[in-house]
Structure 1
Amino acid sequence: MPIATLTEVRQLCSSDYDAYLARVDELDAVHRDALPGIFRARESGRPRTLEYFEALLADPNTLMIGAWVEAELAGYAHAILREVEHLGIHVGRRYVLIDNFAVGPRWQRRGVGRALVDAVADWAKQRGATDLELEVWEVNAGAIRFYEEIGFEPQRRRLARSLA
């Protein structure tokens, strides 16, 4: 597929709420379909409230950005600046956690995700962060492949065992 011609990567604002919800709906469906024992179908209403979205936008330690192709929100990233104190065996450090990340299916493998991660990395560096971190579900092989292609490496592994 050809690289998408990004119109812009910018901070999201309240007026982007509906476009954000469209991407969130897609991401929620991926998780729900792959892991129905963890994620359930929404009973009604919107996948995230406007109040939740606006709280993220207002938080100075949170970045909410979107990649726009023409007039469409092709993808978004929600990142959080975190600090770990120098305590016990932990080295004090500042890092950014990519907490939520989605690129619409028709925009995947076209440079949108890379542009978003690059923008998060720039924001993180401006705030003195030394690393980017994220978590990804093992069933999401496409996302794992993408993250590894752009330089993310496994750092720890979380395992689960059913008691049913």
Structure 2
Amino acid sequence: MRICGQQFRATYGSDTPASDLESYIQANFSAEQQNAEIGDPSAAVFLAMLDNRVIGYAHLMLDTVDRRSAFLNRIYVHTEWRGRGLAMALLKTVLHDAHQRGATRLELTVYERNARAIAFYERAGFVVTGNTIFAVGQDLQSDLVMEMKLAERPNS
């Protein structure tokens, strides 16, 4: 899916050396990697489509050890569709799926310089719980760790 590499490049291109950016994109957004993510039974990939074109994408991963924890690995919205509610619609789909799978918490990481994404997640109810290092090639970047508690399902 081209959207992954395109949106990663659009979001991080000004803060990341080009060689590191391209190395990361090749390693993480190849067709083989995308197919593995789609085929993973402990994960879910959600697409927002318009005229046979992917305009939004979300990737949810359940913790295979602690089935009550889920991780929002990615949520990307094509630049021209930002600010129109598509990211929130994708996030609601992710939250519903995580809840249906029995998760009681959803975690994500977000680049500390991505103010727009941080504000979006805070509006959605996520809180900062820490920070971590995210490697883009050889470039080590600081990410915030954010978490949202999900309601427990009855009889869980």
Q: 1:112 aligns with which of 86, 97, 100?
A: 86
- Superposition deviation, residue 100 in structure 1: 1.5
- Please give the TM-score of this superposition, normalised by the length of structure 1: 0.70
CA change 1:67–1:139 in 2 (3 A) is: same
The 2-side partners of 1:76 and 1:151 are apart by: 20
Q: What are the ranges of 5 or more consecutive residues in structure 1 without an aligned counterpart?
A: 1-19, 86-92
When you count strand as a share of all residues, which structure comes out higher?
2
SS of the equivalent of 1:34 reads coil
- Superposition deviation, residue 46 in structure 1: 9.2
Match of 1:54 in 2: 35
The 2-side partners of 1:145 and 1:123 are apart by: 23
Match of 1:96 in 2: 70
2:84 partner amino acid:
R
- Superposition deviation, residue 120 in structure 1: 0.6
- Superposition deviation, residue 157 in structure 1: 2.3
Q: Deviations over 1:29-53 (max 9, x none)?
A: 4223223289333599797222211
Match of 1:121 in 2: 95
Match of 1:5 in 2: none
Q: Deviations over 1:120-162 (max 9, x none)?
A: 11110111000111000011111111111111111112379x9
Q: Deviations over 1:11-40 (max 9, x none)?
A: xxxxxxxxx213432223422322328933
Q: Percent identity?
A: 31
CA change 1:79–1:44 in 2 (3 A) is: closer
The 1-side partners of 2:123 and 2:60 are apart by: 20
The 1-side partners of 2:95 and 2:24 are apart by: 36
What root-mean-square deviation, in Å, do the aligned CA atoms of Structure 1 and Structure 2 show? 2.9
* 8 A Cα contact 1:21 1:47, kept in partner: no
1:81 partner amino acid:
L
- Please give the TM-score of this superposition, normalised by the length of structure 2: 0.73
Q: 1:155 aligns with which of 123, 129, 141?
A: 129
CA change 1:77–1:43 in 2 (3 A) is: closer
* 8 A Cα contact 1:77 1:100, kept in partner: yes
The 2-side partners of 1:128 and 1:116 are apart by: 19
* 8 A Cα contact 2:70 2:103, kept in partner: yes
Match of 2:44 in 1: 63
